[in-house]
Amino acid sequence: MARQFFVGGNFKMYLRNGSVKQITDIVEHLNNAKIDSSTEVVIAPPALYLLLTREHLRKEIEVAAQNVFDKPNGAFTGEISVAQLKDSNITWTVLGHSERRTLLQETDDFVASKTKAALDGGINVILCCGETLEQREAGTTVDVVTKQLGAVAKEISDWSKIVVAYEPIWAIGTGKVATTEQAQEVHAAIRGWMSKEVSKDAAEKTRIIYGGSVSEKNCKDLAKEKDIDGFLVGGASLKPAFVDIINSKQ
């Protein structure tokens, strides 16, 4: 069974002055764009604009939070709960992004706990993993990535609501991109790990997408690879060419 192609747009904190207009302009562009109906599309604006985005965005495109907390409620200043996302018709969250792992020191176990909380509460997860340049040069890429995913596997057994996003840290926002061969090699290794450690069924059905300086120029070649099921796009998702990436499988 073919896996549905998946493209996510992570707006991060790129929005500047006039952010409301910028969001509405992006939403209007996506609403009017001709998008491949066989591709699942999810965009992740900053938390402040989740409701605005969901209210005006065409229903075929889903909306993700860039983070969620692992506790249902309480004295957790600045955090957002799974139930709050659910109540706001936000159906996805991005978890384990390398920027949160490195800048905010989020551990594998914390990411796993948040993943479990999201899934238990009915929110789908874009689960990020990836290695540093030093780790790649040391030949430990697969060990690093499977360790990150292994922490999640200890907490959950059903991967049907998870999309795994492989994002080599050295390629995020740098303009560098893993070659199609490098990306495919890691995606295949992740699928092999899942087959062994989770189940063959999960390995076959779980979508593994690539992130790291994806653009309209390189997306079509990457999309041809057997184990690359889509993309998680950063800054490029705010640009009109994001539609070309969405349609890269056509």
* Sequential DSSP letters for 143-190: HHHHHHHHHHHTT-S--TTEEEEE--GGGSSSS----HHHHHHHHHHH
Catalytic residues: 97, 167
Distance, in Å, from the CA atom of 95 to the CA atom of 69, rounded to the nearest integer, reads 10
- Can you list the domains of the chain with their CATH numbers? 6-246 (3.20.20.70)
CA distance 41 to 249: 13
**pLDDT (tens place) for every residue of the chain, 250 residues total:** 689 999 999 999 998 878 999 999 999 999 999 999 999 999 999 999 999 999 999 999 999 999 999 999 999 999 999 999 999 999 999 999 999 999 999 999 999 999 999 999 999 999 999 999 899 989 999 999 999 999 999 999 999 999 999 999 988 777 777 889 999 999 999 999 999 999 999 999 999 999 988 999 999 999 999 999 999 999 999 999 999 999 999 8
CA distances from 107 to 23, 115, 129 (A): 31, 12, 12
Residue whose structure tokens are 């059905």: 205
Amino acid at 222: L
Tally helices (H) and strands (E) across the chain.
Answer: 11, 8
